[in-house]
């Protein structure tokens, strides 16, 4: 059975959010509603949707701030459609400049919004399938073009830096890599706090290892660095 795409609806007007959700369900698209950007940001630690529907006027963190933070921390391949009563040219231009794919002004037709969502999802799927290079280990697959980690058909949420560290280690599997070397290659500078490498290794273990305290993949070689264990046949 094919997995339904997931949309995060970040909208504090409950009636509007429920209306969008209802139309998405009619189109076989799953959705989750968040009435503030902070809760949506926390949810990203556990799953990343295929698309966001984002209001700008939110309690606490604004839609603009959420979008900027998301684009800095995660990957640009996830489409974001802004829906807002703000229709000034400056707002529309700002939204598109900081990473929105579409800007829909309220009031709008829910069926037209769903059509835009479906078009965005199709474009992303076509781009990913066009020439996707992959690296695999165990049940996991790294999609190198779209910078995504999957376990089977499930996307594992990774930040940009988590993904970069993992990709580097998988590409250099079965070799001991020093923290200094990892930092230099991933952070693109020979200078800095190399303890950051240990922090990201621990984060990755929590996401890919069955038992982070006894890792199967990301092994520590004491006094030397880290080794990503991968079967040669994979």
CATH number for the domain that contains residue 176: 1.10.10.10
Domain membership flag for residue 104 = yes
Strand 102-105 and strand 80-84: the pairing is parallel
Q: Which residues contact 83 (CB under 8 A, 6 or more apart)?
A: 11, 20, 53, 54, 55, 104, 105, 106, 108, 113
221 phi, psi to nearest 5 deg:
-105, 100
Asked if pLDDT for residue 2 goes beyond 80, the answer is no
Domains in the chain: how many in total?
A: 2
State the pLDDT at residue 18. 97
* 141 inside domain: yes
pLDDT tens digits along 51-95: 999 999 999 999 999 999 998 887 677 899 999 999 999 999 999
Is residue 234 one of the residues assigned to a domain?
Answer: no
Binned at pLDDT 50, 70 and 90, residue 1 comes out as very low
Cα distance between residue 191 and residue 116, in whole Å: 45
pLDDT band at 145 (very low <50, low <70, confident <90, very high): confident
Confidence band for 185, pLDDT divided at 50, 70 and 90: very high
Are 22 and 113 in the same domain? yes
Same domain, 78 and 159: no
Q: What is the CATH number of the domain that holds 90?
A: 3.40.50.2300
Residue 1 lies in a domain: no
- Domain boundary (103, 130, 157) is at 130
Residue 114 within any structural domain of the chain: yes
Range of the domain at 122: 6-130
Last residue of a domain, one of 113, 130, 147: 130
Residue of 6, 12, 3, 82 lying closest to 44 (CA atoms): 6
- Domain-ending residue, one of 85, 102, 130: 130
Domain assignment present for 118:
yes
103 and 177 share a domain?
no
């Amino acid at each position: 059975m094919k997995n339904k795409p997931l949309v995060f609806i970040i909208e504090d007007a409950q009636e509007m959010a429920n209306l969008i959700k209802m139309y998405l369900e009619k189109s076989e698209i799953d959705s989750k509603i968040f009435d503030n950007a902070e809760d949506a940001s926390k949810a990203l630690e556990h799953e990343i949707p295929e698309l966001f529907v984002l209001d700008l006027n939110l309690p606490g963190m604004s839609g603009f701030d959420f979008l900027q933070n998301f684009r800095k921390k995660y990957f640009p391949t996830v489409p974001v459609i802004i829906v807002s009563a703000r229709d000034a040219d400056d707002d529309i231009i700002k939204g598109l400049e900081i990473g929105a794919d579409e800007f829909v002004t309220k009031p709008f037709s829910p069926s037209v919004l769903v059509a835009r969502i479906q078009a965005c999802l199709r474009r992303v799927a076509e781009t990913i399938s066009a020439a996707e290079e992959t690296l695999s280990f165990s049940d996991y697959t790294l999609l190198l073009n779209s910078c995504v980690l999957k376990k089977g058909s499930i996307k594992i949420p990774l930040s940009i830096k988590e993904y970069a560290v993992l990709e580097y280690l998988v590409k250099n599997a079965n070799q001991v890599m020093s923290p200094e070397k990892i930092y230099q290659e991933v952070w693109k500078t020979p200078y800095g706090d190399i303890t950051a490498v240990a922090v990201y290794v621990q984060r990755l273990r929590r996401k890919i290892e069955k038992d982070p305290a006894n890792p199967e993949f990301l092994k520590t070689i004491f006094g030397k660095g880290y080794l990503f264990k991968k079967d040669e046949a994979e």
